[in-house]
Structure 1
Amino acid sequence: MTIVSFFLILFAAIAIGVPVAVVFGGMAVLPGIMDAGFPYTMEAAIRSMVSGLDSFTLLAVPLFMLSGIIMARGGISEKLFNFFAYFIGNKTAGMPCAVICTCMFYGAISGSSPATVSAVGAMTIPFLVSLGYDKVFSTSIVTVAGGLGVIIPPSISYIVYSSASGASPSALFIGGILPGILIGVALMICAYIKCRKSGEDKEKLQENYKKIHDKGFWPLFKESLAALLTPVIILGSIYGGIASPTEAAAISVIYALIISIFVYRTLKVSQLGEMIVEGCKTYVTILFIISAATAFGRALTLLQYPQMISGGILNNISNKFMIILVMNLILLVFGMIMDNIPNIMILTPIFLPVATSIGMDPVHFGIMMTANLAIGMVTPPMGINLYVASSMTDIPVLKIAKACIPFLVAFLIALMLISYIPQISLLLTGLS
């Protein structure tokens, strides 16, 4: 089977709506069906699928997902927003920037982009509209800033990439901090320019800011402290060598339960079963994708397609700057048509050898890849963040996508800096 026909069948199956896990599993056994001499039988593929799930690192995925669900049900986003609005709510674009800050912190709690859009958007979009901001503009802020959920650690995407590449999940978590902050700052600058140009209802802003400010710093700080400490506890336990990422994920679940049930009292113990079922329903899809993608990756390796693709790129492009640009463009296109986890499982074995051959650290490449795929979550036709935001606001997907363009430009500028300045990703890890 030629490499062209293989990938044509792959993309055709995805295009007609075949479930991704089924596509991966089918493509893993297809070469063996077409060529009896191919050394990867159906039995071997099944063994690969089972062994692919035998990973201590991957246990962190359902745990972080459950932690995020608990935090969302516990109304954590409102407490975070009020805290940030206290400091910057009376400035130009202060409230939109407070929304972006909330997305950054909530991303550090949930590790998921759609979960960040849903939890933060449900509260902040109506609030921004009540302050006189355009509804589409308000929705676009949350839609793009929600992408920080997969970049700011702990990130489910980093865990999956670690499983596919062998890179340290701890290094990815630590390395993702500065890129996440850089993207957040870029989005805030964009919001400031937009608000400065379009104007704001200063009277309404001042009135609402006064309500928040009159609560006082210490009451707001006490109310939001437990939420603010979540990423500190998770990352601190990893960076301090106290816990592995998987153990930190278990800690995050326990901590989320404690603050939601006993501190904020926004959840009841009786709701825990419902949240576990919700988490299982979400995770089982990811579970099958990862399992099938493991077999798919093994088949790719035996077909030597990754080596052929990387060799083709390196033989035709000698400039490091251009190689990174080409990888970014391909990652952006793939992000538009497929979800981030299948993309990571497909593209890591193909592009990681290219990246390492030009001297890129696997951690740097993983963060660059994740940032690219985060943009794909806000671009049609896949753009899961767009659909989540549209379902909350009843605004057409394409209308939201159009309003997101200025923020995506800011995101792309930050992506280029992350791609070409490895120290942004590696400084905190000690790998630079």
Structure 2
Amino acid sequence: MAALMVFIVFLIAIAVSVPIGVAMCLGTLFPQYFMNAGAPVDQLINFTLSGADSTPILAVPLFILGGVIMAEGGISRRLFNFFSYFVGNIPGGVPCAAILTCLFYGAISGSGPATTAAVGSMCIPFMVEMGYEKRWSAGLIAVAGGLGVIIPPSIPFVLYSLATGVSTGDLFLAGVIPGILIGLFMMAYAVIFCVTKGEDKQRIRAKMSELRGNGFLKLFADSFFALLCPIIVLGGIYSGIVTPTEAACVSVFYALFVSLVVYRSISLKDLIPFLASSVKTYGGLAFVLAFATAFGRVLSLTRATKVIEDFIVGNFTTTWSVLSVLVILFLILGMVMDTGPAIVILAPILLPAVQALGVDSVHFGVILVCCLSIGLATPPFGLDLFVAGNLAEEPPMAVAKRAVPFIISFLLALALITYVEPVSLALLGR
């Protein structure tokens, strides 16, 4: 009964627009004050402080800061030019270059909204200049921006690791093939659309000729340091030189070096606004993460996780059936809940149940993050949708309509990722 009341209080608080962190706090305190269950207040305070006092959690604000610096440092434009050199002249090449830029930029920022903002601010005006419809271009960027939370290093994967204890390095490696697969499905649709609907080939060829006129070596030299960032970060992790948290710190210093010294696209006076922007982004999430630890402990003490596990195992006998239901649940929650809070709340509750049915913990994390990343581009609260809409100066709902085919291509890739476990685990040798 106490377990049920925790969820009821939490859901009622969410329904009346109470912030998620406060809603978790209310759900945590309710059993102790009204049912003499759960944990004493002083113990809850210790749980909350232990949730905030964690070395791995430092990776989150550091990856956010590194992404902000890279976004303002003009990295996305150099990446787009590099990919356009190779695919710009093929049918649908410009949209494919935009998707490839989002895919690669995700390996720098680790954030969906950051990827959407950095790539969209440059790609949307360029695609409109090349003759593509503005809302279609914004829809493409809104959905492709979600790749930023799947391709490592990924902030949601770090949060999943914090919530469940699963290896961050394993999650990063598991996100590579799914991220590339989703990007390929989106590019396939973009090519089909451009072949069937047509595009301004003369204007595109003129622009690509101008780009190629500078020569590949000059383009490569200009893009080299942008391309090197994910190699340094991920190479450091998988070679064992640095931990994911240390890699996040490396990403900040590398972003500063590239933007201040190499490209000289920012100045020292810009750093204070960047720090303020990062703190603003992380502040609310830090509050949620701290209370999520206490919330999870209370759920364990009231045996809520055991109740959910027994319910799922008792009502679903096959892995594919429970995954199908959970995917639908995650897709719906992704429409109304931010990625970070959804992960820290859902992951520790549902993981024991799916593991009991034989689902790998890393594979489950990939499915959860992929589903929630689609939510970033779906109404009514998809953050990437609002970012892309603002960049295009178009209503978010109008952008959402043009994003539907890209979402469908994303869902097709998601189905393959969900039901074919080796897609996630191949690089781990499982």
Q: Calculate the TM-score normalised by the size of structure 1.
A: 0.97
Whole-angstrom CA distance in 1 between matches of 2:107 and 2:409: 21
Give the CA deviation at 1:339.
0.5
Give the CA deviation at 1:5.
5.0
Structure-to-structure mapping, 1:21-420, within 5 angstroms: 21-36=21-36, 38-420=37-419
Give the CA deviation at 1:26.
1.3
- CA offset digits 1:93-139 (Å, max 9, x no partner): 00000000000111111100001111100110010001110001100
Whole-angstrom CA distance in 2 between matches of 1:85 and 1:24: 46
Paired residues, number: 430
Q: Which blocks of at least 5 consecutive residues in structure 1 are unaligned?
A: none
Whole-angstrom CA distance in 2 between matches of 1:391 and 1:31: 43
Whole-angstrom CA distance in 2 between matches of 1:91 and 1:6: 55
Letter in 2 for 1:61: V
Tell me if the contact between 2:3 and 2:303 (Cα under 8 Å) persists in the aligned partners: no
Tell me if the contact between 1:74 and 1:260 (Cα under 8 Å) persists in the aligned partners: yes
Whole-angstrom CA distance in 1 between matches of 2:300 and 2:11: 19
Letter in 2 for 1:45: L
Give the CA deviation at 1:294.
1.2
- CA offset digits 1:155-188 (Å, max 9, x no partner): 0101010000100001111111111101111110
Query: Would the alpha carbon gap of residues 4 and 264 (structure 1) be closer, same or farther in structure 2, given more than 3 Å must change?
Result: same
Tell me if the contact between 2:102 and 2:115 (Cα under 8 Å) persists in the aligned partners: yes
Whole-angstrom CA distance in 1 between matches of 2:278 and 2:396: 26
- CA offset digits 1:14-43 (Å, max 9, x no partner): 23221111111111111111112x141222
Tell me if the contact between 2:4 and 2:304 (Cα under 8 Å) persists in the aligned partners: no
Give the CA deviation at 1:324.
1.1
Give the CA deviation at 1:283.
1.2
Letter in 2 for 1:11: L
Q: Which blocks of at least 5 consecutive residues in structure 2 are unaligned?
A: none
Q: Percent of pairs identical after alignment? A: 45
Give the CA deviation at 1:3.
5.2
- Please tell me the root mean square deviation across aligned C-alpha atoms, in Å: 1.2
SS at match of 1:55: coil
Letter in 1 for 2:428: T
Tell me if the contact between 2:2 and 2:35 (Cα under 8 Å) persists in the aligned partners: no
Give the CA deviation at 1:198.
1.0
Query: Would the alpha carbon gap of residues 312 and 39 (structure 1) be closer, same or farther in structure 2, given more than 3 Å must change?
Result: closer
SS at match of 1:62: helix
Give the CA deviation at 1:11.
2.5
SS at match of 1:247: helix
Tell me if the contact between 1:327 and 1:351 (Cα under 8 Å) persists in the aligned partners: no
Give the CA deviation at 1:6.
4.0
Whole-angstrom CA distance in 1 between matches of 2:9 and 2:103: 39
Q: Which residue of 2 is the match for residue 9 of structure 1?
A: 9
Tell me if the contact between 1:340 and 1:374 (Cα under 8 Å) persists in the aligned partners: yes
- CA offset digits 1:323-378 (Å, max 9, x no partner): 11111111111111101111111111221012211222211111111001001111
Letter in 1 for 2:24: F
Q: Calculate the TM-score normalised by the size of structure 2.
A: 0.98
Whole-angstrom CA distance in 2 between matches of 1:201 and 1:309: 55
Whole-angstrom CA distance in 2 between matches of 1:341 and 1:316: 28
Whole-angstrom CA distance in 1 between matches of 2:110 and 2:38: 38
Query: Would the alpha carbon gap of residues 402 and 115 (structure 1) be closer, same or farther in structure 2, given more than 3 Å must change?
Result: same
Letter in 2 for 1:208: K
Letter in 2 for 1:96: P
Tell me if the contact between 2:38 and 2:302 (Cα under 8 Å) persists in the aligned partners: no
Whole-angstrom CA distance in 1 between matches of 2:359 and 2:40: 35
Whole-angstrom CA distance in 2 between matches of 1:189 and 1:286: 35
Give the CA deviation at 1:213.
1.1
Whole-angstrom CA distance in 2 between matches of 1:237 and 1:176: 17
Letter in 2 for 1:215: N
Q: Which residue of 2 is the match for residue 429 of structure 1?
A: 428
Give the CA deviation at 1:426.
1.2
Whole-angstrom CA distance in 1 between matches of 2:119 and 2:253: 22
Whole-angstrom CA distance in 1 between matches of 2:52 and 2:287: 9
Tell me if the contact between 2:112 and 2:384 (Cα under 8 Å) persists in the aligned partners: yes
Whole-angstrom CA distance in 1 between matches of 2:21 and 2:404: 31
SS at match of 1:359: coil
Query: Would the alpha carbon gap of residues 5 and 30 (structure 1) be closer, same or farther in structure 2, given more than 3 Å must change?
Result: closer
Give the CA deviation at 1:85.
0.2
